[in-house]
Chains A and B, each alone.
Chain A
Amino acid sequence: MNRDRRVAVTGLGAVTSIGRNVSEFWKNLLAGACGIRPVTLFDASTYRTQTAAEVVDIPDDFLSAAEKRRMSRADRMGLAAAREAIAAAGLDLSREDPSRVGVILGGGTSGLLDSEEFYARHLEGRKARPSRVLNHLPDAITDRVAQRWGLAGIKSTITTACSSSANAMGYAFDAIVSGLADVVLTGGSDVLARLTYGGFNSLRSVDPDPCRPFDRERRGLSIGEAAGILVFEEAGRARRRGAPVVAEFLGYGVTSDAFHMTAPDPSGMAGGRAVRAALASARVDPAAIDYVNAHGTATPQNDSAETAALKAALGERAKEIPVSSIKSMIGHCLCASGGIEAVATALSVRDQAVPPTIHYETPDPQCDLDYVPNFAREVPVRVALSNSFAFGGNSTVVVLARA
């Protein structure tokens, strides 16, 4: 592939439980704020747990009432984050060749919250409104972003569960490097739904209290929701137009664990392959890595396996660098987690500061890295990794660097 083409991140957008835009989100991440609260989107009283990191008050005033009615919650959050990212990049998309601008997002629950209501009515033998299922498929948000900004280039939605938006960024990277597109809006938007909330609860994977990544007493994840959108742009044109480059997307690795549908490989060999593939794609050595934005779900299995994977792939370097999980603050945003965590990682690269892992109290011998407990830190961050590991053993690692 033509490696003369590189990929700059020129705009970020975020809608999260601890901030409805990038600056609020970043300020609260560094302050160690927690967005995990009682669930309000549906009646959670009959579930095993009752907390999640919900987004309060989506900043979607730019949509008309009719548009909002047509759209799912994931659509509205995704459009709000995309709007912020496009503005931050200083892009006037009406002046671009629409066929050269693409949209590649990670998709997940999409309109599931609405289709669950359709299904519940159907199960009760009542007539259900068809408009409730129109947004069911996870690619709806991708089409909506393209529709809103008149984009006619590549569109794709990756549906690899919790690594969806990380893989979407990888696809966007390959699309730009190969010359298929010059600009791609990427990342993802994913919202709370009964299916995922009930599903992780049925697996006994949800901590009734806010999650505690890497802590010895960790008891599972907290579910979250978020939209994290990034503008990827061919670096040469970004430079020529004087775009505000936040970071460079150096490359990514995607591998199959080929191990188990839900359990990570405890040896870290499988996760380590993804990290090594990412380093190879980015053409950097382990010694160049300054920070890891961890997958860090706070399930007992993930955090020890991820620690082992980092040690397997980075060797001694793993012990020298900060590794933190922002899921301790915004929960596990499932198909959007790769996107929103890449937004945070890009900000770490821009501002030379790393967010903490909060709720961290008791060290675990199985998790023996520097997890940046409870307080953010200013450190030099030239190259950073962001990990995403999904059901199915889909492991993806992205690499961001100072531009």
Chain B
Amino acid sequence: MSSHGVITGTGAVCPLARSAPEFYRKLFAGETAVRPMTPEERGDLQATHVARCDAFSPQPEIPPMKARRFDRGSQFAIVACSQAIHESAYDVAANPESIGIALGTGSAGAGALTEFLRVLLRESPEAAPPFHFPNTVANAPASQVSIELKLYGPNVTVTQKDPSALNALLFASLSLRAGRARAMIAGGVDEWNAIYALGFDRVGALRGEKRVSGIVQGEGAFAVLLEEEDAARQRGARPLARLAGLGIAGVPTEPYRFAPDPGAMNRSMRGALDDAGTSPENIGLWFPSRDGVVEMDAAELEAMRGIFGNPPPEILVKQAIGEMAASGGGQLVAAAHALADPDGFFGERRAPRRALVNSFGAGGNFLSAILEAA
């Protein structure tokens, strides 16, 4: 068995909550933040629902004057990552080179990008506001985090469809193994954007009046601090969970097509189980990828039944916060808290020792993770 590290801190800024414990509590209470779009959000989209961080304020983590310098995605990320560092009590200043960040995103930079291009296209290239250009890059949130929290270690952003956050977690895990860092913030960030929503709606990705199969878009940021287990124990950290296994599988297909291939999903989950050195009967909790894309959801269920027969109890994250490239981060945060909280939600029942997280996206991009009680 090989450990990828332990999760010693979590952070969440999402439509359901503005901290990881609150997110976990509301999620397990069955609450959802999915709501009808306002007329302004909806425009002429056929999509009807969305999940957004409606009442989000960057305070107190980011002072008001400073907050204006950051785009929305960067604000989400700075707050979520600050929470994760705070919870872990990791001493960044003592060894800034030992800690890095890897975030997954599908939309970071969208606000700055659409605003910069709007002026460039409608008025003139010379009128386009230079202030926005640096924030058009997808790595703006992770990099703003590294600047704000003074992280000198690895700093990457990954974009690979819905499982981008789990892909970032994989990068983080490899970085720890290679000795590039002793701790990595891993997670995801996304911001809802009207023009991106228009694009997704036009290409048929969003659930709505004319489409029963499709996603409801979310936004927010999630972070876990993944840390070398020995180092974490030595400094007296109390891990919430251990990242026991990761599995990845691809299906060769068009970038925007769904590949509802139970065989490849099976390979992703089996990969994670084998990597964790465990077997299906030891999985007590399941965080499905299920996001409303009917054929993908059906394929996941088929793959699950193939492995588990009767799948373990499930917690549906995307039904509570919508789908985005960052959602996998939400699944990780929820799983870590569930495994660390045997007396909370699970009460008298025997708490699960291991949880399976699936994140299956368009373009044949599948990742699975196994977390276990630490």
Contact = CB atoms under 8 A, between A and B. Distances in A.
Interface string B52-86: 00000000000000000000000000000000000
A160 B363 contact: no
A245 interface: no
Given A1-B177, A116-B117, A203-B133, A159 B255 contact: no
A123 B116 CA distance: 13
Q: Which 9 pairs, one residue from A and one from B, show the smallest C-beta to C-beta distance? A: A392-B143, A130-B202, A256-B146, A199-B133, A159-B138, A143-B255, A256-B155, A202-B130, A174-B174
Nearest to B173: A178
B105 interface: yes
B139 A201 contact: no
Interface in B164-202: 167, 170-171, 174-175, 177-180, 195, 198-199, 202
Contacts of A391: 134, 137, 139-140, 143
A36 B360 CA distance: 42
Interface in B298-355: none
Contact of B122 (A123, A175, A392): A123
A296 B124 CA distance: 30
B370 interface: no
A13 B125 CA distance: 34
A159 B203 contact: no
Given A255-B152, A256-B143, A392-B147, 5 more contacts: A70-B254, A99-B250, A102-B250, A194-B121, A262-B134
A154 B117 CA distance: 33
B160 interface: yes
Interface stretch (B93-101, B224-232, B233-241): B93-101
A178 B271 CA distance: 14
Contacts of B264: 152
Contacts of A199: 116, 128, 130, 133, 136
30 contacts: A48-B125, A119-B114, A119-B195, A128-B202, A137-B106, A139-B160, A151-B250, A151-B252, A152-B251, A153-B250, A154-B170, A155-B250, A160-B143, A161-B138, A161-B139, A171-B174, A174-B177, A194-B121, A201-B126, A202-B129, A202-B130, A203-B133, A254-B156, A255-B154, A256-B143, A256-B154, A258-B96, A261-B135, A391-B139, A392-B142
Interface string A30-54: 0000000000000000111000000
Nearest to B114: A119
A256 B252 contact: no
Nearest to A149: B252
B289 interface: no
B120 interface: yes
Contacts of B174: 1, 171, 174-175, 178, 180
Of listed B138, B147, B250, residue having the most chain A CB within 10 A: B250
Contacts of A393: 143, 146-147, 155
B32 interface: no
Interface residues of A, number: 81
Contacts of A142: 160, 255
Contacts of A144: 254-255
Contacts of A257: 146-147
B211 interface: no
A202 B128 contact: yes
A279 to B, nearest CB: 13
B35 interface: no
A159 B139 contact: yes
A167 interface: yes
Interface in A89-134: 98-99, 102-103, 107, 115-116, 118-120, 122-123, 128, 130, 133-134
B265 to A, nearest CB: 12
A9 interface: no
B247 to A, nearest CB: 10
B121 A201 contact: no
A198 interface: yes
Nearest to A276: B97
B297 to A, nearest CB: 21
B263 to A, nearest CB: 10
A159 B365 contact: no
B230 to A, nearest CB: 15
B245 interface: no
Contacts of B134: 203, 261-262, 391-392
A153 B137 CA distance: 27
A203 B160 contact: no
A394 interface: yes
Contact of B159 (A1, A135, A137, A392): A137
A116 B364 CA distance: 26
Nearest to A154: B248
A394 B144 CA distance: 11
A202 B126 CA distance: 7
A158 B154 contact: no
A297 to B, nearest CB: 15
A277 interface: yes
Contacts of A277: 180
Given A48-B126, A115-B199, A155-B250, A198 B120 contact: yes
A160 B101 CA distance: 12
A256 B255 contact: no
Contacts of A116: 117, 121
A357 interface: no
B161 A139 contact: yes
Contacts of B157: 158-160
Nearest to B124: A46
Nearest to B150: A258
A135 B154 CA distance: 28
Given A99-B249, A144-B255, A147-B254, A195 B120 contact: yes
A290 B252 CA distance: 40
B255 A139 contact: yes
B218 interface: no
Contacts of A201: 125-126
Contacts of B146: 256-258, 392-393
Contacts of A177: 178
B161 A152 contact: no
A62 interface: no
A356 interface: no
Given A99-B267, A171-B171, A146 B364 contact: yes
A198 B139 contact: no
Given A116-B121, A130-B202, A146-B364, A152 B156 contact: no
B151 interface: yes
Interface in B103-124: 105-106, 113-114, 116-118, 120-122, 124
A319 B305 CA distance: 64
Contact of B133 (A122, A202, A281): A202
Contacts of B195: 119, 122
Interface string A152-184: 111111111100000100010011011010000
